[in-house]
Amino acid sequence: MPESKGSTDDIYSSILTQGELAEISTRKIRLELPLEATRWSKHELAEMATQKTSAVRISETISEKSIAAEPVLDKPAHPLRAFWLSWYTAFKKILPVYVAVHLALIAMSCLAFLYTNHDFSSTIMRVSTLWTQWHHWDTGYYLQIALHGYVQKKQMAFFPLYPLLERAVMIATGDPFIAGMLVSNGAELLMFTALYRLVEHDFGVERAFHTVLYLAIFPTAFFFSIAYTEATFLCLSTLTFLQIRRGHWWTAALFGFLACLTRPDGMFLAIPFCYEYLHRKWPQEVTSLRMFLAKKQLFLLIRSIRFDILLCLCIPLGILCVMIIGMDQFTDPLAFVHAHASWGRFMAVPGYNMVKSMWAIYNHGLISFTTMRSLTDLLPDLLLGILILLCFIGKWRLPPRLWSYGLYALALYTYFQLFTKSGNFPLESMSRFLLELFPAFVILSNIRRNRLLHLSYFMLALAVFFFLSTQFATGHWVL
């Protein structure tokens, strides 16, 4: 009998992966030994199922383990161990994506200078070129603030937390630019891990992985890996969201405050905070708005609210800190608002920037610099706008218990549409700002099972990713 079982396993091993065989064997053990199986973790069962031993050896191992370990297996796992294990599991899931993207960026860094050198050039570049070629545009402003503080009023457009982190890491590196790169790449790794945990909790493992993957290859995602604030802000905002979804209001308020110290967009994290808080207090038997607006239900809701809802006010305190800096340095508490005039930005009706961008494309023809660069902002803007709309309508819409994702994304997206830049590029930097809308990528993960849509997004995103990153590395104007 053992021989026949071994031959059967050999047949299945040729068509199934080791993980699939482990899952099948684990289920067999749970069916045959339900009492023992309930005491063991999934990893222990999988390890036993994949051992290259006979059926007799497996049964002996099972009986020995159940007898020897029975007194302690009934005890729950230590909370701290369970906490780190959940983070470590998420880290292992996203690590291949993180490593693959960074290998691609290293390859681009090695090849990018070929665009600026002549063919058959004998020029030898310094090794430091691999990272110094990413020192462009806003990177310089953050370094100046890290070294000298706020000296010019236009620097107030850049919030203080990221330069402070650069200053702190610079103690070890001695170079503020390298410090900024380390801060961004470390924050990116933590952000991917937190995002995976957040989406896994609400949508499952498969959607969590594809959310991280689609975000990591978005055309402007290379900004996560350079000395910009995108990775740091998204790291703090996902951590805030993770704490909000678990009802940890104090830590959510802390991370939200830090996010607001990184970018003013962090103030919109107060919206999911309040929604989640009130949704937990919402009477479960109330299923319609009319029932909720009844006096009795409103009275019960108000009575259930505690002082901890006021913690949401800690989130916009980051902006208050920036106002104090502006008042102290330039006697203008709104210096961070007025600083945007230096870049030609002004407020307008939402959607005006899109219409103006389309008009610029129409006037300059299809194959032109203005058109192609406008499309790199316009098309992502339209795509993510559609994805946010799908949070509330269609077959991909979110249930009311998850509307905090959609409300946050909608508020942030509307805020971005309020600002227009003068000139032929009214949507300048928009596709970089859109990286903050992680709920849109959760909706985008629904295309994973459609091979055409999945591969189309994958290839198009990577193509534009490569183009924009090499353009940035060679000193061209990018977003």
Per-residue pLDDT of the chain (479 residues; tens, 9 = 90+): 444 444 444 544 555 555 555 555 545 444 444 444 444 445 554 555 444 444 444 444 444 444 344 444 445 567 788 888 889 999 999 999 999 999 999 999 888 888 888 787 778 888 888 888 888 889 999 999 999 999 999 999 999 999 999 999 999 998 999 999 999 999 999 999 999 999 999 999 999 999 999 999 999 999 999 999 999 999 999 999 999 999 899 999 999 999 999 999 999 999 999 999 888 776 555 555 555 556 666 666 666 677 778 888 999 999 999 999 999 999 999 999 988 888 888 888 988 989 999 999 999 888 888 899 899 999 999 999 999 999 999 999 999 889 999 999 999 999 999 988 888 889 988 999 999 999 999 999 999 999 999 999 999 999 999 999 999 998 888 87
* Beta carbons of 427 and 353 less than 8 angstroms apart: yes
Exposed (0-12), middle (13-18) or buried (19+): which is 411, by Cβ within 10 Å?
Answer: middle
- 403 contacts 457 by C-beta, under 8 angstroms: no
**SS3 helix, strand, coil % of the chain, rounded to 5?**
75, 0, 25
Amino acid 379: pLDDT: 94
For the chain, the domains span 2-73, 81-473
Burial of 80 (0-12, 13-18, 19+ CB in 10 A): exposed
Q: What angle do CA 10, 11, 17 make, to 5 degrees?
A: 80
SS3 347: strand
Give me the pLDDT at residue 19, please: 56
Alpha helix positions (H), 204-316? 205-216, 230-245, 249-262, 270-281, 289-292, 295-304
- In the chain the first and final C-alpha atoms are separated, in Å, by 68
User: Nearest-CA neighbor of 381 among 359, 357, 364, 360?
Assistant: 357
Instruction: Output the pLDDT for position 68.
Output: 42
Cα-Cα-Cα-Cα dihedral of 156, 159, 164, 169, to 10°?
A: -120
Give the model's pLDDT for residue 165.
Answer: 96
